[in-house]
Amino acid sequence: MSSSSNLTFSVQPGGQLTGSIRVPGDKSISHRSIMLGSLAEGVTHVSGFLEGEDSLATLQAFRNMGVKIDGPENGTVVIHGVGMHGLRAPESDLDLGNSGTSMRLLSGLLAGQEFDSTLVGDSSLSSRPMRRVTGPLAQMGAQIQANEDGTAPLKIKGGIQLKGIDYPMPVASAQVKSSLLLAGLYADGETSVTEPAPTRDHTERMLNGFGYQVKRDGSRISLSGGGKLTACDIDVPADISSAAFFLVGATIAPDSDLVLEHVGMNPTRDGVINILRLMGADIEVNNQRDVGGEPVADLRVRSTKLNGIRIPEDQVPLAIDEFPSIFIAAACAEGETVLTGAEELRVKESDRIQVMADGLLVLGIDAQATEDGIRIQGGQLSGGEVESHGDHRIAMSFAMAALRADGAIKINDCRNVDTSFPGFDSLASSVGLNITAMDEE
């Protein structure tokens, strides 16, 4: 396929979602498995690895820094760790594609290395704000040069001795927290981060899994520099962010009954389930178990009538990546749904608040963007042509909207779906979504 062509989704109206599927592995955990496995002593085996473009960008970056990595093959990756000080200077810039997680976390990790490095990305990533990471890293002594507006490329100076800081985060962000903790591995003394609200804790859990002590005292997370990581085995659960599209689809499509297997149920990521249940969704959590330090379960979801709600602000950080799909649920609910306290959605792969509001308006739904959220009046979705602006989560959310639309929905600019969910269209088709992916010059 030519990457210059426009990949579109054409989704016919109606249908139901039935059966049992396992969505691809968790992107956040896949990224971190490569990063920590590379810095560990010994060989780390990863299963369930997400073979999407974002995770593969992280994998390639570490290969470019001298780490031998076998795979991925059917979700299996073998990482031959080089230890905390074994990375080598890359011969060229590290291209992280569309992955904000890779760029922000690597900023911290590379700030403590002996060599210089430069992080670059595609046009979308190069427009995203990086000061929220580079600012506190500078307080630790890191020397990172960015564009005047704080965007990539990021030029990171090596050979700097970092110092631990005590950083109260102004905005809840797992990426900022993780970046500072990774820098803290190389810093003198203790590095601590205090969160204004809980965010995903995969970094802390995985550091513990690799034998590195991380302390938590209420909302304060801390570690001391100078330790080591010991290789381990990681089984990556299915990504709840990818499961979210199917949770919403099976909830809104009449006569649906769908099981999503082996879904990661980390309590810092389950906001989408909590919010959908508040709206009236019928989601059963079965076969709960613990896999490699991460809680996992099978989710059974059946169609039901939804009601509009005011989304509790304490759930916002726990569902930050799932809001595009939640907005589709809100469009199908009775009454008004109001979201506040979600400014971060404006600086994702797209301005997700405005892009979703624009698309919903095209499809006949009254959706009003606000500075920090959105107001959506439930109604009847119509067919139409919407723009995803190259944002994978926007594209997949509007695909599910067709289940309740009265006409076909065409979604433009869908190629980036492969960053997080390769094979989305075929998996969705296998359980009942009438979707066709087409290349258009």
Is the link from the previous residue into 72 a cis peptide, with omega within 30 of 0? yes
| Domain boundaries for CATH 3.65.10.10 within the chain | 6-25+237-440, 27-235
- Taking a C-beta distance cutoff of 8 angstroms, is the pair 177, 221 a contact? yes
Catalytic positions are: 321
Which phi-psi region, left, alpha or beta, contains residue 183 (left: φ > 0; alpha: ψ -120 to 50)? alpha
Percent share of the chain, pLDDT over 90: 92
pLDDT digits (tens, 9 = 90+) for 145-162: 999 999 999 999 999 999
DSSP, res 41: B
> Tell me, what's the pLDDT at 292?
76
The residues, any chain, with a CB within 8 Å of residue 160's CB and separated by 6 or more, are 111, 112, 141, 142, 143
Residue type, 388: S
pLDDT digits (tens, 9 = 90+) for 314-373: 999 899 999 999 999 999 999 999 999 998 888 787 899 999 999 999 999 999 999 999
Q: Where are the alpha helices (DSSP H) in 77-156?
A: 100-111, 131-139
């059917």: which residue's tokens? Answer: 74
Residue 237 — φ and ψ, nearest 5°? -70, 165
- Taking a C-beta distance cutoff of 8 angstroms, is the pair 223, 208 a contact? no
pLDDT of 5 strictly over 80: no
d(CA 405, CA 384): 9
Please compute the mean of the pLDDT values over residues 230-236 and round it to a whole number.
Answer: 95
Where b means 16+ CB within 10 Å and e means fewer, 394-430 reads: bbbbbbbbbbbbeeebbbbbbbbbbbbbbebbebbee
Is the link from the previous residue into 153 a cis peptide, with omega within 30 of 0? yes
> Tell me, what's the pLDDT at 420?
85
Mean residue pLDDT across the chain: 96
CATH for the stretch 6-25+237-440: 3.65.10.10
Q: How many CB atoms lie within 10 A of CB 78?
A: 15
> Tell me, what's the pLDDT at 4?
54
pTM (2 decimals)?
0.87
The residues, any chain, with a CB within 8 Å of residue 135's CB and separated by 6 or more, are none
d(CA 361, CA 187): 50
Residue 69 — φ and ψ, nearest 5°? -130, 120
CATH for the stretch 27-235: 3.65.10.10
State which H helix or E strand residue 351 sits in.
none
The tokens of 331 are what?
A: 């469009």
The tokens of 333 are what?
A: 């609910």
Q: What is the CA radius of gyration of the chain?
A: 21
Strand-strand pairing, 117-120 and 154-156: antiparallel
